[in-house]
Amino acid sequence: MTVITYEKNERGEACREMLLASEIISDYKMLTILPIPFTRDGVNLSSGDISVSELCSGDFEGGLVVGYGIPVEVKARLSELGAVVVDCEGDERFLLENAYLTALATVRVILGDGARSPEELGIGIVGYGRIGRSLARMLLSLGASPVVYTSREDVAICLGESGVSCERVSDIREISGLDYLINTSPSPYLLECEIDMGVRILELCPGDNFSGGTVQRLPALPARYFPVTAGHRWAQSALRLLSEVKR
């Protein structure tokens, strides 16, 4: 079997090894593992190896393509070229597992400072999706008292009833008194909010979401801190989705 791995890191290697060890893919002539993210500029793969147009002009007859967040038009083109395309962005279990690893790595960043224990830190979480929920649970279990910032009224009510501090983003004009503000939302909810320069912002999403504070960008945390686990979760997701295709 021909194998091409554009995800050139430990996560990609762990994913490749697990996929090749499975009998599910034994019938395919070729295995292609696309990078995460698929592209940064819309022109080239994020690995920098080839352009998107070059990828979409290759020979994929009898092949298997595994990726995450592959554009719809690219998936359609690869299918036309004879590939079976598996996009793990459609696997809710994988999304939850990846969110857990992202949250775990974020907590590791915070604990790595080592100056104070979690219960002594003021920590805010922007957004309450998969990552936000995992973060809140972890921090609460460590003795911290995080504040969740959300735009959703139903989330605010639910968190308030469960005893978790929560504030509506629409009501916030300034943020102070925090040691960390962790952004899990791609939407720039707090762009116009005044944030103390002493607040350390851990940015988990792309984009320019803040106008104040000290921003530390933390992309692809699972691949950075837990690459083998992240690779295995990715491969397991692909195999689950592939088994559904073969039914």
Query: 165 pLDDT exceeds 90?
Result: no
In this structure, is residue 245 part of a structural domain? no
Residues 101 and 86 reside in one and the same domain: no
Taking only the tens place, the pLDDT of each residue in 70-90 is 999 999 999 999 999 999 999
**Contact assessment for residue 172 and residue 199, using Cβ atoms and an 8 Å cutoff:** no
Residues 207 and 123 reside in one and the same domain: yes
Residues 71 and 156 reside in one and the same domain: no
pTM over 0.75: yes
In this structure, is residue 104 part of a structural domain? yes
Residues 118 and 210 reside in one and the same domain: yes
Domain C-terminal end among 90, 106, 132: 90
Query: 169 pLDDT exceeds 90?
Result: no
Residues 68 and 121 reside in one and the same domain: no
In this structure, is residue 236 part of a structural domain? no
Query: 247 pLDDT exceeds 70?
Result: no
- Would you state the pLDDT for residue 211? 65
- Report the C-alpha gap between 122 and 175 in whole angstroms: 11
Write out the residue range of the structural domain in which residue 73 sits: 2-90
Query: Chain centroid to CA 208: how far?
Result: 17
Token match 């979760």: residue?
233
Residues 117 and 139 reside in one and the same domain: yes
Q: Select the more confidently predicted residue: 151 or 70.
A: 70
Q: Select the more confidently predicted residue: 210 or 228.
A: 228
Residues 190 and 86 reside in one and the same domain: no
Name which of 60-64, 89-93, 191-195 the model is least confident about. 191-195
In this structure, is residue 197 part of a structural domain? yes
Q: How many domains does the chain have?
A: 2
In this structure, is residue 231 part of a structural domain? no
Q: Residue 158 maps to which CATH number?
A: 3.40.50.720
In this structure, is residue 186 part of a structural domain? yes
Closest CA to 7 of 172, 238, 193: 238
Per-residue pLDDT, averaged over 37-62, amounts to: 94
Per-residue pLDDT, averaged over 212-236, amounts to: 91
Residues 108 and 214 reside in one and the same domain: yes
In this structure, is residue 59 part of a structural domain? yes
What is the pLDDT of the chain when averaged over all its residues?
A: 91
